[in-house]
Chains A and B, each alone.
Chain A
């Protein structure tokens, strides 16, 4: 064989391999599994595989009474459990036409918004952990701990709350709680500034988030992505403003919207939402009316009139819709949860195509998934 002979390199098709991220992986925050088809560091196809902690909450609803189902609501999204209780309780109240005293409505708003802040703080820490920054997690948990202590004193549990009842809430707030919340809110303002200086303005963070993982408003609409995801894509959709429930109509707050659609926009939306939630809590404390926290005369065995009823709330991750179908018995005929993480994750496959692995994981983190919320 002569040395001058040039052998052309064979036309190689791009060789891909399958990378399993999860179900036990530091970036998936729980038992989500991503089946990534990779071309080098580029993702050609990302297929989320869910169901690892599927517990069939919807079937559980069909074999216990309306009230017995209440504890289940706290176990769907363990980080923002208050909103789930709120949606379910309000749906049943809508069906059974139960009036809620104003004090209870204000307490519901205060606790739900505190829960939203604590949920966003967990996201903040975990997202930074995804990006390789360890320290903010501990600061965020430090602040979150104060919320958990307050809510524990009020409700008896730290995460999986079962505090709302048909017709109100089960305990009235005491002065200690109100004082504690005021202290917490006052202490959070400097902390938000501190987070901005330590994290948001960091050049490495900005490089990692700006322009990465762009999701268009059209994609959000087609997939039903809501919450900070759609608000980071320039659509100011917030159930609290669109279908105002409870006493949100009487409270003054803004819906933060950023139009870039990238990870930074979603990051900024959540940071700004914490500020808005603090504002809501402050106002609700100021306006907190006196009076009972439970409607009297709610029957012990509830039989809502037949029909189907929906109630949507803004959970920490987006639009939460609960649909209950009643056939006028003491047991629900059907309970359907439309959870925000489920819809937000469903767009991941389309959004992540062609991204590099670290960027895709930043995108995944910016969707703020809670796996039990997907698997239910």
Chain B
């Protein structure tokens, strides 16, 4: 639990990559809505963080679920089965960070050109 006034969310849960789907399913059962999926490249620690945001349409609650994967093999299971809205967010995270969402139906670039092979939000990206 964290202070909303200080951080902007109430619950900050850190899970293992394999547990992401279970966490999303639990939030879905409790009526949470998809907010966003994004990544952060922690190059110093040689890890990538995937951040899932959820809000509740009827309550104040804001939940953040985060998981870390090694930079050498950035793979997380997709939650687009549970939240179809995550489909686009995961595509965007994939193209920006090169994080693969296993089981995603269509992991093609969304905002970058369709032949883009680079991942611009990685910290070692050179234009």
Give per-residue flags for B1-21: 1 if the beta carbon is below 8 A from chain A beta carbons, else 0. 000111111000000000000
Q: Tell me which of A59, A220, A323, A346 contacts B53 (CB under 8 A).
A: A323
Interface size class of B (residues with CB under 8 A): 35 or more
Q: How far is the CA of A28 from the CA of B50 in the complex (A)?
A: 32
Residues of A bordering B, CB below 8 Å: 50-51, 54, 56, 58-59, 62, 91, 94, 217, 220-225, 230, 235, 237, 242-243, 307-312, 319, 321, 323, 325, 333-334, 336, 338, 342-343, 346-347, 350, 375-376
Q: Give the chain B neighbours of A220 by CB distance below 8 A.
A: 33, 57
Does the CB pair A310–B62 fall under 8 Å?
A: yes
Q: Tell me which of B9, B34, B109, B120 contacts A310 (CB under 8 A).
A: B9
Q: How far is the CB of B71 from chain A (nearest CB, A)?
A: 15
Does the CB pair B57–A235 fall under 8 Å?
A: yes
Chain B residue at minimum C-beta to C-beta distance from A311: B8
Q: Give the chain B neighbours of A56 by CB distance below 8 A.
A: 120
Q: Give the chain A neighbours of B62 by CB distance below 8 A.
A: 243, 310, 312
Beyond A51-B109, A220-B33, A242-B60, is A94–B6 a contact (Cβ under 8 Å)? yes
Q: How far is the CA of A334 from the CA of B109 in the complex (A)?
A: 20
Task: Return the 4 tightest CB-CB contacts between A and B, nearest first.
Answer: A310-B8, A223-B85, A224-B34, A338-B36
Beyond A223-B84, A311-B8, A319-B35, is A50–B111 a contact (Cβ under 8 Å)? yes
Chain B residue at minimum C-beta to C-beta distance from A344: B85
Q: Give the chain B neighbours of A343 by CB distance below 8 A.
A: 34, 36, 85, 88
Q: How far is the CA of A223 from the CA of B60 in the complex (A)?
A: 18
Does the CB pair A336–B8 fall under 8 Å?
A: no
Q: How far is the CA of A30 from the CA of B32 in the complex (A)?
A: 32
B68-115 contacts to A, CB under 8 A, are: 83-85, 87-88, 96, 109-113
Does the CB pair B85–A224 fall under 8 Å?
A: yes
Beyond A50-B110, A309-B7, is A347–B36 a contact (Cβ under 8 Å)? no
Does the CB pair A346–B35 fall under 8 Å?
A: no
In the complex, B25 has a CB within 8 A of chain A: no
Does the CB pair A54–B111 fall under 8 Å?
A: yes
Q: Give the chain A neighbours of B58 by CB distance below 8 A.
A: 235, 237
Q: How far is the CB of A62 from chain B (nearest CB, A)?
A: 8
Chain A residue at minimum C-beta to C-beta distance from B59: A242
Q: How far is the CA of A323 from the CA of B33 in the complex (A)?
A: 17
Q: How far is the CA of A257 from the CA of B5 in the complex (A)?
A: 27
